[in-house]
Amino acid sequence: MTVVALSGGVGGAKLVSGLADILPPGELVVVANTGDDFEHLGLHIAPDIDSVFYALAGWNDTERGWGRAGETWQCMSALGQIGGETWFNLGDQDLALHLERTRRLRAGESLSAVTAALCHAAGIATRIIPMSETPVPTVVHTKDQGDLAFQHYFVRERCEPVVTGFTHRGAAQAEMPRALAEVRDVEAVIVCPSNPFISIAPILAVPGMRDWLKGLGAPVVAVSPLIGGQAVKGPTAKMFAELGLDVTNAGLVAHYGGLLDGLVIDHADGQNVHDLSVATAVTATLMQTAEDRHRVADIALSLVEAIKEHVGS
Amino acid sequence: MTVVALSGGVGGAKLVSGLADILPPGELVVVANTGDDFEHLGLHIAPDIDSVFYALAGWNDTERGWGRAGETWQCMSALGQIGGETWFNLGDQDLALHLERTRRLRAGESLSAVTAALCHAAGIATRIIPMSETPVPTVVHTKDQGDLAFQHYFVRERCEPVVTGFTHRGAAQAEMPRALAEVRDVEAVIVCPSNPFISIAPILAVPGMRDWLKGLGAPVVAVSPLIGGQAVKGPTAKMFAELGLDVTNAGLVAHYGGLLDGLVIDHADGQNVHDLSVATAVTATLMQTAEDRHRVADIALSLVEAIKEHVGS
């Protein structure tokens, strides 16, 4: 049995980590968003792959909520001393990943191959597969500042500009990684509680991705990133509102446009369950502890089973 | 007045630092060896420029003898965890310099321009000019291991292979940096107590460099790297012997082939002063303290003055 998870960064990585813990080793395949990827200081940075990677290696900083545990910032500090760009904070340990990835990419390896090699070296059994071998950078259209590269919007401008839409540049030419074609016996597709616009939409924008997901013949279940009309972290709710969408799970299901068969929602939103056109399961979706992550992962997989039984009956 | 110093790495940087301290700000120009430069982890590493840079910024680690004070090694440690190459140890702070240099070079800046910008940012008044804009990598010919790239010989093999000679690859096509043509009113050329084969010879191998130095019309004075037939640090004496040369100051003068007008030697070698065909000054050449560095710098400049007076008289 194989479970495919679509994931963005930190929020998605929590559920990925929960799924990896409760599934037998090697049965989880993560399709990671690379719409946030960018070139910085000459390095290929892949924030979402890295968040998933660190979570699965057990190297993530659970207190700070991103990056590596025990991280130091000596290089950035020294970079500031010589007039370098320091608005995007790269930790000393984290730099190793960007250096090694960039070195391998320049040597001609594909992003999938590099990611697989890094996972192998770190002893990660879960397959992390980037959504595309080629860059599909998210461009954020804003009301007052025009088009912004994703990290300029996200980190430099701290998500403050009002968003009017997104372009997934290069999506039309993007190819699904070959590694996805080798994924067999998929029993469940889980859409992580990542930002639907900037984490999941880029994945779905890769030509063939929606068809591939549907063609797997497995139920597609999302865990909602919303809790009582708010996002746990990041600009998800703010974006819903700025785009004129309902900041609700019904809005989320509509946004995914027929992709979902089921949705795991929080107790706070349990009263609106009948507004949804998909199967639902209700739990506490906030994931702070390993127990939380295992519970949410388990609920999502149980909803998949329930949907299968319902279809079968 | 301008003083031009030819320098390799750590040993040369000590004298450079002494010269910079006793000369008025901006009167020192360092022509730095780039024969040790190499590409590693996708970064342009220029060990000798960096040693001079750190010494002049006051950031060098005087106890360890190389690199930056307060250096940490988190990135290398993390690189080892993901299967990366760790034989060449790059500190976290040090990485900033390589990242910023590489970024600027890739953006199309010349190595001279990058070095000047970094010096400016670090508040260094001395001009550090690389010997060439283009790579002139030193290839080490060895008895038993064939040809080795410099850092493979120097760091990975710890200078253990027996040396039979050197090639300065790319020297024939190398061009002297334009910045050197703008150096005016040179009163002295100081050859630092760097390794004559791998630190100074690459500089002299750049077409036009010897003629430019001679054409400056200033005395050329070297500080000997030998003390009683031994080198303070590194493989200098070993190389003299392996190449079948006398490990003496006479051997050094002969090696420089008519370049030198004077030589500063150590007390330990003072008895052989009459074997030398150039003017000499004798002092304690070991530089451990700032006082040592100032004394040796002062003696070298005094020898230049003495040579001028002698010529003038």
ipTM of the complex as predicted: 0.91
How far from the centroid of its chain's Cα atoms is residue B65's Cα? 15
Cα separation, B154 vs B132, in Å, equals 21
Non-local (6+) Cβ contacts of B154 within 8 A are B36, B140, B198
Q: Is B163 an 8 Å CB contact of chain A?
A: no
In this complex, the residue of A76, A82, A97 whose CB is nearest that of residue B97 is: A82
Query: Residue range A25-42: average pLDDT?
Result: 96
CB contact under 8 A, B68 and A78: yes
Chain B contact for A113 (CB, 8 A cutoff): no
Residues B15, B293 contacting (CB under 8 angstroms): yes
Nearest residue of chain B to residue A78 (CA atoms): B93
> Strand pairing of A220-223 and A226-227?
unpaired
Tokens matching residue B115: 């070095």
Query: With an 8 Å Cβ cutoff, are A83 and B100 in contact?
Result: yes
What is the distance of C-alpha B131 from the center of its chain? 10
Task: State how beta strands A186-191 and A2-7 pair.
Answer: parallel
Task: Give the per-residue pLDDT at A272.
Answer: 73
Is the distance from CB of A140 to CB of A153 less than 8 angstroms?
Answer: yes
Q: Is A121 on the interface with B (CB under 8 A)?
A: yes
Is B83 within 8 Å of A41 when comparing Cβ atoms?
no
Kindly report the length of chain B.
313
Predicted model pTM = 0.92
Q: Are A176 and A208 in contact (CB under 8 A)?
A: yes
Tell whether A96 lies on the interface with B, counting CB pairs under 8 A.
yes
In this structure, of A65-69, A233-237, A265-269, B34-38, the range with the lowest mean pLDDT score is A233-237
**Residue A120 neighbours by CB distance under 10 Å:** 12
Count Cβ–Cβ pairs < 8 Å, chain A vs chain B: 108
Rounded CA-CA distance A254/A245 in Å is 9
**pLDDT (0 to 100) of residue B275:** 78
What pLDDT shows up at residue B133?
94
For residue A102, the chain B residues in CB contact (below 8 A) are: 42
Q: Is domain A2-141+168-312 given the CATH code 3.40.50.10680 in the classification?
A: yes
Nearest to A244 by CA among A233, A258, A255, A231: A255
Helices (H) and strands (E) in chain B, counts: 12, 14
Residues on chain B touching A103 (C-beta within 8 angstroms):
41-42, 84
Taken in order A224, A153, A49, A130, the sign of the CA dihedral is positive
pLDDT in tens, chain B (313 residues): 899 999 999 899 999 999 999 999 999 999 999 999 999 999 999 999 999 999 999 999 988 989 999 999 999 999 999 999 998 999 999 999 999 999 999 999 999 999 999 999 999 999 999 999 999 999 999 999 999 999 999 988 999 999 999 999 999 999 999 999 999 999 999 999 999 999 999 999 999 999 999 999 999 999 999 999 888 888 999 999 999 998 999 999 999 999 999 999 999 998 877 778 999 999 999 999 999 999 999 999 999 999 999 876 5
Residues in chain A within 8 Å Cβ distance of B68: 78
Closest CA to A100 of A86, A116, A89: A116
Question: Hey, is the C-beta of A58 within 8 angstroms of any chain B C-beta?
Answer: no
Q: Which residue has the tokens 């200081």?
A: A41
In the predicted structure, residue A313 carries a pLDDT above the cut 60: no
Q: Supply the pLDDT for residue A140.
A: 97
| Burial class of residue A158 in the structure, from the number of CB atoms within 10 Å of its CB (0-12 exposed, 13-18 middle, 19+ buried) | exposed
Identify the pLDDT of residue B312: 61
| Residue A238: its H or E element | helix A236-242
Instruction: Determine whether A246 is exposed, middle or buried from the number of CB atoms within 10 Å of its CB (0-12, 13-18, 19+).
Output: middle
Question: In the numeric block, which tokens belong to residue B17?
Answer: 């630092």
CB contact under 8 A, B103 and A95: no
Q: What share of chain A is helix, strand, coil (3-state, %, to 5)?
A: 40, 20, 40
CA distance A43 to A97: 10
Mutation target to probe the A interface, by most A beta carbons within 10 A, among B41, B71, B74, B120 is B74
Q: Which helix (H) or strand (E) holds B32?
A: strand B28-32
Measure B92 CA to nearest chain A CA, in Å: 5
